[in-house]
Amino acid sequence: MEQTQKTIPRKRYSAIFLISGACFLIIGLMLGLLLHPKNIYDLPWYLCMVGICIAVYGIYQRHNTERLGDDVSFSHQKAKDFFLKYALVFALLVMIIVIAVIEPRFLQLDVLLDILSQSSIRMIIALGICSTILIAGTDLSAGRMVGLAAVISGSMLQDPTYANRFFPNMPELPVFIPIIIAVLACGLFGALNGFLVAKYNMHPFIATLATQVIIYGVCSLYFDLPPNNSQPLGGIRKDFQTMAQFKIGNKVSILVPIAVIVTLIIWFVLNKTVFGKNIYAIGGNMEAARVSGVNVFKTLMGIFILAGLLYGFGGVLEAARTAGATNNYGNGYELDAIAACCVGGVSLAGGIGKVSGIIVGVLIFTVIQYGLQFIGVSPMWQQVIKGVIIAVAVAIDLSKYKKVLWH
């Protein structure tokens, strides 16, 4: 049975968005400037932001008629595909609305800034792990690399006057030297992961599982060196803490623009470089990529080295953010990063996934954790809800790409 399809001129389509955006903007301004309602907190400014986004989309549609076509077509199948494609975005919006109805204080802009701040380090780690999933693999060593970088950087950046220094006789180093050492150490372990996968055709699950155990052992041995003897690191230098604790305008955490910059770099690498295109090619069909001239060995090595460097950077930021470190830092971070990637549409079959999806995935899990704590939901129920969301997201992923998986 043929699908009924309707079309409307693109100019009229864009006008609908422009008018809708203007309405949201006017309502937001009226609530914010005229009524000053105390019980809905910063909802007026959220309405203004939504209105601006809708209007910008309408302007985009109007000024790209030649490229997009004069008409916009609609059908039941297109609507179904649209909602399936953006199901997680709608789920995130519904979750935010439900939490805001239960606790209106969730509408404060400070809450949004806290969520973005908490998402930043998770985003960097998820961006590191996404390339390993794009080749139909994974990386179980990510969390332990975060801990290793945190311990290395924290142990070398303690205040000289601190009584329990890890290295009592070490001179005060420039802050960037321990950071580089920590990040490069994780890059070396990333290279080990890549070598095991590329040279011996070892499945990434097994290769990174072995490396995970090795890293934790090495980190624990380092952490147990005298005179520290496995005591939590403290006395972190203020200049190092500032790297993650500084707030722009006393509002926006410095971690947010750092995460944005890293996100843009990874987007560029995946979408605008030969290396990025090779990642997708290997994930789609490794043998076909090899036959077409892709250097699979170098690409796999590059994937895991890049991932290791990102984990190391995330670990450094974590040590600076918390002003401390132990050998258990980062434990389980890899599972949250993998879950965020899967929820964000990075296909477990390989070769499919976008940075924008990873952003949504990380935000979903941060909103779950922050929002449910905000309304006092039990941590046990938080785990149940998180598990359900992972299962539903992967089911949606498999339904979208089942032809790819079967063939």
In tens, the pLDDT along 164-175 reads 999 999 999 999
Q: At what angle do helices 274-284 and 255-272 cross, to 10 degrees?
A: 70
**Number of H-type helices and E-type strands within the chain:** 18, 4
Question: Is residue 142's pLDDT more than 50?
Answer: yes
Task: Give backbone dihedrals phi and psi of 203, rounded to 5 degrees, phi first.
Answer: -65, 135
- Would residue 112 be called left, alpha or beta, if left means φ above 0 and alpha means ψ between -120 and 50 degrees? alpha
Domain match, 32 and 93 both: no
Q: How far is CA 101 from CA 20, 40, 105, 107, 385, in A?
A: 23, 10, 9, 9, 18
Domain match, 1 and 102 both: no
Domain match, 22 and 101 both: no
Higher-pLDDT residue of 167, 343: 167
Domain match, 42 and 165 both: no
Domain match, 78 and 126 both: no
Domain match, 53 and 155 both: no
Domain match, 198 and 141 both: yes
Domain match, 69 and 91 both: no
Mark which of 31, 55, 84 sits at the end of a domain: 84
Domain match, 104 and 15 both: no
Domain match, 133 and 20 both: no
> Residue 292: is it exposed, middle or buried by C-beta count within 10 angstroms (0-12/13-18/19+)?
exposed
Question: The CATH number of the domain where 121 resides is what?
Answer: 1.10.3470
Domain match, 161 and 268 both: yes
The residue assigned the tokens 């609609």 is 74
Which residue segment(s) compose the domain that 18 sits in? Answer: 1-84
Mark which of 53, 68, 84 sits at the end of a domain: 84
Separation between Cα atoms, residue 223 and residue 293, nearest integer Å: 45
pLDDT in tens, 39-55: 678 888 889 999 999 99
At 403 the pLDDT is: 46
Which pLDDT band, with edges at 50, 70 and 90, does 36 fall under? low
Q: Does residue 208 contact residue 335 with C-beta atoms inside 8 Å?
A: no
pLDDT in tens, 217-245: 999 999 999 999 999 999 999 999 999 99
Count other Cβ atoms within 10 Å, centred on residue 145.
Answer: 37
pLDDT in tens, 59-103: 988 888 777 777 888 788 777 777 777 777 787 788 888 888 888
pTM: 0.91
Tally of domains within the chain: 2
Separation between Cα atoms, residue 267 and residue 260, nearest integer Å: 10
Domain match, 254 and 185 both: yes
Evaluated on CA atoms 203, 205, 208, 212, the torsion sign reads negative
Mark which of 67, 84, 101 sits at the end of a domain: 84
Which pLDDT band, with edges at 50, 70 and 90, does 286 fall under? very high
Question: Is residue 1's pLDDT more than 80?
Answer: no
Between β-strands 252-253 and 71-75, what pairing exists: parallel, antiparallel or unpaired? unpaired
